[in-house]
Amino acid sequence: MIHLTGLLLLVAISPARAVDFPDLPPHQQVDVALDSHVNVLNAHSQLQIEKVTQRRRESGEYEFTVRGGAYEDYYFNAGGNEGYRDWEVAIERPFRLPNKMFIDSEIGAEAVARGENGLGDARHEASRTLLQLWFNWQRERAQDSQWQQQVDLLTQQAVMTEKRIKAGDAPRMELNQVNAARALAGIASQQARLRAELAANELSRQFSAVKLPAETATTEPQAIDGELAHWRQLILKRNHELGLIEAETRLQSKLSERARADRLPDPTLGLRYASQLNNNQRISGVYFSIPLPSGQRSATADSAALAAQIAADRELAVRARLDADIFTAYTRAVNNYRIWQQAQDAGVALRQNAELVARAYSLGESSLGETLVARRQALEASLAESIARIDANEARYRLLLDAHQLWIDNDQHEAH
């Protein structure tokens, strides 16, 4: 009992494990492919820039300045003139006011948050692209497979027709019709194979770490659980694009606050030490200076305030677009599953009908035209069923991806 309790506790505290789906590329390949995508690499570099900029903001841009000089003074009088050697040295540095230091620290933190969300968004968009290219390739392969099956069936039909011709039960023109139909099916198969090769090349070009399998698993679609509100909450909870625009809004707000604070210039403090009259007189002291503000500082603050307002308006626009995207993704996933169910029912019925008509033709109870029409209808139904199945699976995976429930990043313990 103690061992069982410990095992359950270990499972509960263990990080989420990567889950492989049979009709998707292996999770390990996906991780490598996404991490090496050019947009993700650029976003990672941008995050490092934001971290460096954060250090610069926290340390400030002011530095110590050392001033020095040597002079020779001459005093003229009736008896002649007398010269004295003088020198002085000073060190000074501008100092940020305390409120500006705090604002700069917050600006750096918001910039890093923007970079982190930018990296997450770049990875998410790369995941979307990978998912789309993967299913584009599957669609073309499915069409090639269906057309090749049609070629095989028409080849069998040609053999049957030759037997009937030899038996004197069918004219020779029927063999020409079958051969023509088989040739057209072969052309369609070659065209689909070409499109599949092009789709595979595009997928490999952008994501070279993903190895295309010789055969892909056929997975039946699953119904979408939950209402639209449930999926909207899941998607918006950890949406990187929304986090990115929110961080940008906060950053621009802090920059505006910093510009307002900069209306009061920072003072410069210095220490001075001087020697005069050939070291007979020593002078030491503290001095300060402060710029007199002009209209430029007010204009800069007004410009920063407008930039903050623009960022806030963009956030509203992004929220509205995301809401529309979520509705589209959810509606497409739900309806594509229903479409696949209808296509499956139609495919089963038309394939059974094609078999019955073909059997009737072999017995001389049906014409070749009726047989070819039935074969064509069965093919179209099978193609529609295959495409509907792939569309339903892609729509569901896209919804899971947007909800961060697909392709979990083990390093960050979250999905993208």
Find the CATH number of the domain harbouring 291.
1.20.1600.10
In a domain, 247, yes or no: yes
Answer whether 62's CB lies under 8 Å from 95's CB.
yes
The three-state (H, E, C) secondary structure of 44-77, written as one string: HHHHHHHHHHHHHHHHCCCCCEEEEEEEEEEEEE
Give the DSSP per-residue string, 260-313: HHTTSPPPEEEEEEEEETTTTEEEEEEEEE-PPP-HHHHHHHHHHHHHHHHHHH
In a domain, 109, yes or no: yes
Residue among 114, 14, 19 nearest 415 (CA): 19
Phi-psi region of 265 (alpha: psi -120 to 50; beta: other; left: phi over 0): beta
Question: What is the C-alpha to C-alpha distance for residues 232 and 227, in angstroms, rounded to an integer?
Answer: 9
Question: What is the C-alpha to C-alpha distance for residues 110 and 104, in angstroms, rounded to an integer?
Answer: 10
Question: What is the C-alpha to C-alpha distance for residues 337 and 341, in angstroms, rounded to an integer?
Answer: 6
pLDDT value for 8:
37
Answer whether 68's CB lies under 8 Å from 272's CB.
no
In a domain, 5, yes or no: no
In a domain, 21, yes or no: no
pLDDT value for 10:
37
Structure tokens at 336: 């594509």
In a domain, 23, yes or no: no
Grouping H, G, I as helix, E, B as strand and the rest as coil, residue 396 is helix
380-402 pLDDT tens trace: 888 889 899 999 999 999 999 99
pLDDT value for 415:
44
Bridge-based pairing state of the strands 281-289 and 408-409: unpaired
pLDDT value for 4:
39
287 class by beta-carbon count within 10 Å (0-12 exposed, 13-18 middle, 19+ buried)? exposed
Question: What is the C-alpha to C-alpha distance for residues 331 and 401, in angstroms, rounded to an integer?
Answer: 15
pLDDT value for 210:
92
The ranges of the chain with pLDDT < 50 are 1-17, 412-415
Q: What is the CA radius of gyration of the chain?
A: 38
pLDDT value for 93:
92
Domain containing residue 323:
31-415
The pTM of the full predicted model, rounded to 2 decimals, is 0.82
In a domain, 13, yes or no: no
In a domain, 187, yes or no: yes
In a domain, 100, yes or no: yes
> What CA–CA distances, in Å, run from 277 to 167, 282, 375?
135, 9, 115
The number of domains in the chain is 1
Give the residue carrying structure tokens 């509705």: 327
> What CA–CA distances, in Å, run from 108 to 52, 60, 101, 345, 410?
9, 11, 11, 59, 27
